Structure 1
């Protein structure tokens, strides 16, 4: 190599060596506080925000730090949207349907009764125009909402008494979040919105007659089986539950583009992580609950049909008086329709066949053991 080549090569190497620390020095230090709607004891759902915190720090060499606080440490769990909107905190981790009292349109960012399953909801949010449809709505609340976790299909909750007919719902006091409470109210239920950590004492004292939370893993942690014997399924109001990472819009706008990408990536990763954990943990938790005496019950078809009818009546009524709701609902329902047509062809036929075959095999094996 010529002397000129050596000099040129050395200069390039030296410039590269200097560039990395120079770029690192230009990356700003960002320190945010995240108010969670969930208690730390619910490690999976609360853990989604902690996962984001770890990933953001790791991808920015510690320059971007998010400290997560459990419900009640900074603000009550059901007041985190106000805290973000008002600038009390920079961000929050929550379920948007907690805030349907402000506007029922919030529900579409989480889930609605008889909506979509996890894959369908993710498809709508990420590739079907869902986030674009919701963005103008959240701007009214000075907030940017990023999908950040999913619980999958949930259970139908814990009841002190059996539900055999629609009439059994009349007068029932039930802890239920989101727009589902309005659907149940059409059938005589008295809905109560109570934060996760406060459900057990309300159920134990008889302040409420029933409560839904998420599924076996979290429900067992909260001890609901000790105060209500009947565990119903499916949670028709939550075929999936998208969790959200709220960011105060001015704070989001201040972030360097690279940091915004880091935050998006961390939230997307948390969605995969949360769903995987629930799918791994729920089967064993359900077996343990049943072994301990929990009585598993399916909602009667009559009840499901009444709830379905009430849900879509409510959507039509709400759309007629709320323009924001109508815009998002029209987008959501059109996408849901196409997803249902597709899933009936491949996914549903596959699932039904293999689940039926597995059940037959299990019954056969049980019969052999009895012989």
Structure 2
């Protein structure tokens, strides 16, 4: 028996088998769709992100994978719309205010003062056929695909001294973003803008007397409860912000209908999980950390009235913005916040 010939034959067979396995593995890898997904959140939502990635992988039997990037890792958050339109990113999770200079409707859909006062109300607005169409058209013109919304949570006032009415704030300096500052100016309430990292020292040294920044959990994370502990529900905007998911058109069109459905379902759950995480965080702030109060209903309604100048500024930017503002006005009237 020619053992050399047998050995050569066996070796050749093993090599052929190995080559076949490599070819199969390469084919499987080639068939796997990988999407670059960028959020504006950091490591704080990693468990939610892991659940999201696993859900996409499992629902697609591994044929669809998410390459997940946290805030600032690849692209600055205010560049998301541009990056996803150019294909630098495949899907982004951001906030309309980041790209309001690029998308006319951005500030409105992010959340204007007085626009809605509950998550249910916000959802009813965004899920309406009229508003959904406005969003879809706006983001299509910006070279992106609108995939859906996410909802933040509390966005209220923290002060050193208790607040029983808007009148109380006329002698206090409040940190606020530009749109909220315009509303407070209507009541002659002095405001200043400061970034989050400056709030602790500013509050503790008396540079400001209060801040409108977020909910109890955000104030606790910034340790602001060490400087002020009076939390006042304004009933001006809840959720205080909304979140937006956008996709690159070319990448989205290449996906199968099955993959699109999987992503839409997983993204909706991802958004809901973030909202629930925010809600639980606010609910679980230790008792005694803050003393809670609410503005009188009449004052809260006045905030919506005062916000009309801000709304009309946005409405003047485009016919589409006006249509969105008209929808907000109709809703506010239906809710009894406007006459």
Q: 1:204 aligns with which of 186, 193, 200?
A: 200
Q: CA deviation at 1:202?
A: 1.0
Partner of 1:29: 32
Partner of 2:304: 308
Partner of 1:273: 273
User: Is it true that 1:120 corresponds to 2:121 in the alignment?
Assistant: yes
**In structure 1, distance between residues paired with 2:235 and 2:53:** 30
Asked if the contact 2:79/2:98 (under 8 Å) is kept, the reply is: no
Q: 2:291 aligns with which of 284, 292, 295?
A: 295
Partner of 1:90: 90
Partner of 2:42: 39
Change (3 A) 1:223 1:100: farther
**In structure 1, distance between residues paired with 2:194 and 2:148:** 22
Could you list the runs of 4 or more consecutive aligned residues of structure 1 that deviate by over 6 angstroms after TM superposition? 24-27
Asked if the contact 1:130/1:332 (under 8 Å) is kept, the reply is: no
Asked if the contact 1:215/1:282 (under 8 Å) is kept, the reply is: yes
Counterparts of 1:1-371 in structure 2, within 5 Å, are 28-41=31-44, 43=45, 50-102=50-102, 105-116=105-116, 117-152=118-153, 154-160=154-160, 163=163, 164-166=165-167, 168=169, 172=173, 174-176=175-177, 179-184=179-184, 186-187=186-187, 189-190=190-191, 192=193, 194=195, 199=196, 201-206=197-202, 209=208, 210-239=210-239, 241-285=241-285, 288=286, 290-292=287-289, 294-299=290-295, 303-334=299-330, 337=333, 340=335
Partner of 1:362: none
Q: CA deviation at 1:132?
A: 1.5
> CA-to-partner distance for each residue in 1:142-174, whole Å, 9 max, x for gaps?
22232343234x141323455554473588352
Change (3 A) 1:325 1:191: farther
Q: Computing the radius of gyration over CA atoms, which structure comes out larger, 1 or 2?
A: 2
Change (3 A) 1:205 1:245: same
> CA-to-partner distance for each residue in 1:163-211, whole Å, 9 max, x for gaps?
554473588352438x4454345555546484xxxx1x21023287344
**Root-mean-square deviation (Å):** 3.5
> CA-to-partner distance for each residue in 1:307-354, whole Å, 9 max, x for gaps?
22221232234324532211222244445655x38xxxxxxxxxxxxx
Query: How many residues are aligned here?
Result: 304
Unaligned runs of at least 5 residues, structure 1:
1-20, 342-371
Unaligned runs of at least 5 residues, structure 2:
1-23
SS of residue matched to 2:93: strand
Change (3 A) 1:162 1:335: closer
SS of residue matched to 1:61: coil
Change (3 A) 1:291 1:335: closer
Change (3 A) 1:173 1:107: same
**In structure 1, distance between residues paired with 2:94 and 2:194:** 14
Change (3 A) 1:280 1:206: closer
Q: CA deviation at 1:265?
A: 0.9
**In structure 1, distance between residues paired with 2:144 and 2:171:** 38
